[in-house]
Amino acid sequence: MGAYEPIHQISMWEESFKSNGNFNASASMIVDADTKLDNQSEDASHGILGPSSKYDQEATKPTDKVQRRLAQNREAARKSRMRKKAYVQQLETSRLKLIQLEQELDRARQQQGIYIGSGLDASPLGFSGTINSGVTTFEMEYGHWVEEQNRQINELRTALHAHISDIELRFLVDSGMSHYFELFSMKLTASKADVFYVMSGMWKTSAERFFSWIGGFRPSEILKVLQPHLDPLTDQQVLDVYNLRQSCQQAEDALSQGMDKLQLTLADTVAAGQLGEGSYVPQMANAMQKLEELVGFVQQADNLRRGTLQQMSCILTIRQAARGLLALGEYFQRLRALSSLWATRPREPA
């Protein structure tokens, strides 16, 4: 099986959805394995929703309040960049310390003669020690990502209650969208280090893992969760959301079928030869090549999630998009809270 076999299936329904839903999104928005976060950030900086003529008029006559708000936003962005720079430096220091520790452990294993004679790495899975470094870095970054998401949720809630202008609200929506795109980029890097870790969702809480699909949320289910919180929707918006959900389900089915085929192929590869003979180096080498395809599936799933968010931003008004991002963030917060409550529930003595 090829690395991206579902792409042909996805492109078929994508063309159908474009003609029915009248959207301008291309198939590469969903399944292009080379989509970069920088491109998404550039899109966000130009305004994902596209300003209306009314917004143009407002922009030409900025009020003092808007000017103050924009100045505050610039100052907040500057401080955020400073915090991020310090955080990256901290990550680099931690990474170097971790590499040094791994090197010391490797030397200790060599001295004790623990290395496997097959020529694979000392790890029972035959993976390089840099995987743990990549996973550790991702876990630290994801912890900061959740903290930033909680801050953005609070800011969105306050802004919606304060009835701020659409220009100011657009800035918050663009920031929220870019924040999700940043997570997709982080996951791609982590999956190249340890795709099983990302696929299993071990970086999420137990309740989030229960609803996980290829290392993240299932777009069609998220649309079903969010739609009641977006009302009132026009008849055209209801139709557009319905078409988007149908197209997401088709893409999800195509990716799931591709995953099933890859799983069977990988199982056959690992089991090739005579089991019990003790030597399995050739099988492991072939299996490692198959795992590159698994990384591709994770990226395609995140491209579908990214494309779904972008399509919704095209369908909704700026205030509806803000309410949608708020509802999405609170939904994940509740799943994390459910995990904590379940883990700390009172238990009867055994």
HSE (side-chain half, CA atoms, 13 Å) at 144: 16
How confident is residue 250, by pLDDT bands cut at 50, 70 and 90?
very high
How confident is residue 110, by pLDDT bands cut at 50, 70 and 90?
low
Instruction: Report, as an integer, the average pLDDT of 24-43.
Output: 42
| 45 against 262, higher pLDDT | 262
The answer on pLDDT for 23 being more than 70 is: no
Instruction: Report, as an integer, the average pLDDT of 169-191.
Output: 95
How confident is residue 73, by pLDDT bands cut at 50, 70 and 90?
confident
**Lowest-pLDDT range of 39-48, 62-71, 158-167, 253-262:** 39-48
SS3 content of the chain, % helix, strand, coil (to 5): 75, 0, 25
Percentage of the chain beyond pLDDT 70 is 69
Extract the tokens encoding 332.
């994940």
Model pLDDT for residues 326-336, shown as the tens digit of each residue: 999 999 999 99
Extract the tokens encoding 264.
């069977």
Closest to 219 (Cα-Cα) out of 172, 170, 254, 179: 254
| 291 against 120, higher pLDDT | 291
Give me the pLDDT at residue 103, please. Answer: 64
How confident is residue 5, by pLDDT bands cut at 50, 70 and 90?
low
Model pLDDT for residues 74-93, shown as the tens digit of each residue: 888 888 778 777 777 777 77
The pTM score is 0.65
φ, ψ for residue 326, nearest 5 deg? -65, -45
> How many CB atoms sit inside 10 A of residue 244's CB?
23
| 220 against 95, higher pLDDT | 220
Instruction: Report, as an integer, the average pLDDT of 17-45.
Output: 43
